[in-house]
Structure 1
């Protein structure tokens, strides 16, 4: 069943926090995977889930850093995972398959933004490789562990509006623009959820993509202070001055809502924003039509299968 890309009147909004989304929801016995769950909005997501009773697995490229950030949180397990390295993705997935415990939600919250031109693997552009291909391979490899009723949450960005998939040059071989590369990876995050939902709902798995909102987190690590001052985000001393930024607790709300809100039961394959299903719009806000195009979503899936060699939902 195709879910309409229109608001449902959730009653939540831009200032809702992850804890408020989960108020009254008991996650005892639920098992969740949160990539990037030790930093920024991922960390706030982990905290909210644990407070509601969930057991959370947080894989990390910097496992020691993750352990330090998560110290004192009961019910959290860390593991090693580098999303830019498909061998690391396979090894992590194999360890989870050996454990054998199913997941009730997978939240793909990790990512890189506007980094210098970097190549990984066979020359793949880093942002597309990390933000999309790594998560694509991860979720496909974990397909046998997704419980009936599980949700896969793909964290995108409003930057998806910047560009559709650049089929003629997806890895920027002819000239690199770090923001276009980021925007393409975020479009890929949405298209991934669109097609995953289409092919996985028969086994009881649904998928969502979302824009968490603007939040100042370590995601901005590749932006200099001067750049952020010029964009009006911070002042010369590094203090936030833009009043439209969310707090990390608010930024974590939409992905937490996507993972466990009963308001989304029976729904999937849609783009969310501010704890609501967004409208398709052409001029800012909401979701761009190119990111929820079902033909483009299937084309990206097939392309990703060729690159990663993994297709856990159609094999």
Structure 2
């Protein structure tokens, strides 16, 4: 079944929190994996999932920092993972396979945003590499331990509206633009969820892309206070501007996509404000751009990603 990109009228909205979308849902006995689950939106998602009874595995580039952040969060465990390093991805996935536990939920929340130009691996642009390729390789290697009816959620952004995939130069070798690089990586997240769902739906695996909205988190670490104020993200006294969500509200859409009974039989869609989003040309505000939900582009990106990473899950 191919899900139409239109609202379901879920009953939730931009103000809903992760705890609210989980009300009445018992995740006891379920295992979740949340990349970046020790900071910002990822931490809010981790806390909400554990309060609903789930056990949450948190991969971390800085395990000591993650352990400290999760010290008082029950039913969590930390393991080392650097999404910029495919050997690290392989090692993490091998440990999960050796462990043998089935994963019911995976939320790809870790990422970087509009950072200065940097290269990882064989010269890959870092935002495309970390936000997309690292997660692509991770999910591909974790496929043997994804439970039947597992859900994978790729955290994306409204910044996908900045650009399609730059097929002729995805690594910005001909000139770097930090916002276009970020936007491309977020388009890649949506296309990844679309094609993963296409490949997995017959066996029960469903995938979703989730736009959390605007939230002030460590993701904006590369911006000074003056830049944040000039961009309209904060007011002159340093508080979040109108329209910004709390981390608990920002985590809600990913958690909703990962757990909502309303999404049974659905998948491969872009979600925002705890609902499936309308196409951008039909939505009054927000929505998803056509290039991010093009099945042919999704298949093309999958093929490119498999070629680059050597992983084809």
TM-based fold match above 0.5: yes
Q: Deviation digits for residues 220-248 of structure 1, max 9, x if unmatched?
A: 001111110111222345332x1100000
- DSSP 3-state at the match of 1:142: helix
Q: Who is 2:182 aligned against?
A: 182
- Cα separation, 1, equivalents of 2:237 and 2:214: 20
- Residue number in structure 1 paired with 2:299: 298
Supply the distance in 2 between the matched residues of 1:72 and 1:281 (Cα, whole angstroms): 41
Gaps of 5+ in 2: none
1:157-201: CA deviation from partner (whole Å, max 9, x where unpaired): 000000000001000000000000000000000000000000111
In structure 1, distance between residues paired with 2:245 and 2:237:
20
The equivalent of 2:279 in structure 1 is: 280
Which residue pairs with 1:19 in the alignment? 19
State the alpha-carbon separation in 2 of the partners of residues 188 and 106 from structure 1: 17
Q: Name stretches of at least 5 consecutive residues in structure 1 with no aligned partner.
A: none
Tell me the alpha carbon deviations over residues 53-77 of structure 1, each in whole angstroms, 9 at most, x when there is no partner. Answer: 0000000001111011111111000
Normalised TM-score (structure 1): 0.97
Q: Is the counterpart of residue 311 in structure 1 residue 302 in structure 2?
A: no
The residue aligned with 1:289 is 290
CA RMSD of aligned residues (A): 0.9
Q: Distance in 1 between matches of 2:194 and 2:260?
A: 19
| Cα displacement string for residues 106-158 of structure 1 (whole angstroms, at most 9, x for unaligned residues) | 10000000000000011000000000000000000000001011000000000
Please list the CA deviations of residues 199-220 of structure 1 after superposition, one character each: whole Å capped at 9, or x if unmatched: 1111110000011000000000
Match for residue 88 of structure 1?
88
The TM-score, its normalising length taken from structure 2, stands at: 0.98
1:260 aligns with 2:264: no
* Moved >2 Å (runs of 4+): 235-240
Distance in 2, matches of 1:229 and 1:60, equals: 30
In 2, Cα distance between the equivalents of 1:26 and 1:95?
27
Deviations 1:278-310 (A, max 9, x none): 011148510000000000000000000000000
**Aligned residue runs from structure 1 range 229-248, under 5 A:** 229-240=229-240, 242-248=241-247
Q: Distance in 1 between matches of 2:134 and 2:222?
A: 20
Q: Which residue number in structure 1 is paired with residue 108 of structure 2?
A: 108
**Matched residue SS, 2:276:** coil
- Determine the structure 2 residue equivalent to 1:226: 226
- Find the counterpart in structure 2 of residue 215 from structure 1: 215
Query: Aligned equivalents of 1:213 and 1:298: distance in 2?
Result: 27
State how far apart, in whole Å, the 2-side matches of 1:307 and 1:218 are: 29
Tell me which residue corresponds to 2:124. Answer: 124
Quick check: 227-236 or 257-266, which moved more? 227-236
